[in-house]
Amino acid sequence: MDQAPGSPQGPQDAASLPTCYRHPDRETGIRCTRCERPICPECMISASVGFQCPECVRDGSGTGHAPSASQPRTLAGGTVTADPRLITKILLGLNLALFLVQLSVGDRFTDSFDLIGRAYVPLLGGIEGVAEGQWYRLVTAMFLHGSYIHIAFNMLSLWWLGGPLESALGRVRYLALYGVSGLAGSALTYLIAEPNQPSLGASGAIFGLFGATAILMRRLNYDMRPVIALLVINLILTFGWSNIAWEAHIGGLAGGVLIGYAMVHAPRERRALIQYGVCALVLIAVVVMTLVRTSQLT
């Protein structure tokens, strides 16, 4: 089993960072380029120079012109939405719903959709696995869990990490980060782990969110010590506990760092091309790892 307890969100240095004027509980190092009030990632709207707050974008403050008709954008160029946690809520609900199905249907359901390379599965009565053409297991295993503590850790981490990232990236980019990071974790597990070793859990995707959060905090000049400390703790747990698919953690983390860097550092004029281009490159790596391992097993 793979777990990802903890959150890279942590207290900042109160002596040096002001708080967002719309969310007093959130410290930030970014200010609106028009009114110069401090704003957090949820309030940042991409402008031609720097970031602006929602009020300045809405009323065209300081420009002498009518309010802009362009759609407000997040830090990464995504669309600003009324509910910045919608995708996080949907992912959380999907994981919980499938866990209830696992509990009600039993091991036969789990054995049909967990990640396994190639092995005889007694409950299914035959040879099963990704090498048998069941590539869907790379995806379905991301939404299954092995115990109450397993899903509790992962869903708490998803809620803590997912909300701020979804606000900063926008829904489509955030969903791409989550899905591609999870697939990177599944593919590395398939490539390295024993073919008869089943694996399941959202931790590949969660570690992808972890890596992207570190990149985002660095981009916003936040204190990196909390996220570094929690990353070290999670890696110790990954390699120190038995029955943890460390391959999923490392694959997801690597994918999250690469995609997160592209999301928050891509130049404005080629932003979408670079962001989704890096996602495509990681997906190509997933396909290559899967083909290589399949050829080895068959």
Catalytic site includes residue 203: yes
Task: Give the tens place of pLDDT for each residue, 211-237.
Answer: 999 999 888 888 878 878 877 887 787
pLDDT band at 282 (very low <50, low <70, confident <90, very high): very high
Give the global pTM: 0.78
Residue 240 pLDDT class (50, 70, 90 cuts): low
Split at pLDDT 50, 70, 90, the class of 259 is: very high
CATH class of this structure's domain 86-297: mainly alpha
CA dist 44 and 87 (Å) reads 19
Confidence band for 53, pLDDT divided at 50, 70 and 90: confident
pLDDT at 2: 53
Catalytic residue among 186, 203, 265, 295: 203
Q: Is 143 helix (H, G, I), strand (E, B) or coil?
A: helix
Strands 51-52 and 45-46: antiparallel
Residue 147 designated active-site? no
Which tokens sit at 275?
């962001």
Would you place residue 274 in the very low, low, confident or very high pLDDT band (cuts 50, 70, 90)? very high
CB-based contact 20:32 (threshold 8 Å): no
Q: Collapse the DSSP code of 72 into the 3-class scheme (helix H, G, I; strand E, B; otherwise coil) and give the result.
A: coil
Closest CA to 116 of 197, 211, 207, 8: 197
Share of the chain above pLDDT 90, in %: 57
Q: Which pLDDT score is estimated for 14? A: 38
Name the band, by pLDDT with cuts 50, 70 and 90, for residue 172: very high
- What is the pLDDT, as a whole number, of residue 30? 80
Q: 86: how many CB neighbours lie within 10 A of its CB?
A: 13
pLDDT tens readout for residues 125-167: 899 999 999 999 999 999 999 999 999 989 999 998 998 899 8
What is the rounded average pLDDT for all residues in the chain?
85
Catalytic hit among 7, 157, 199, 249: 249
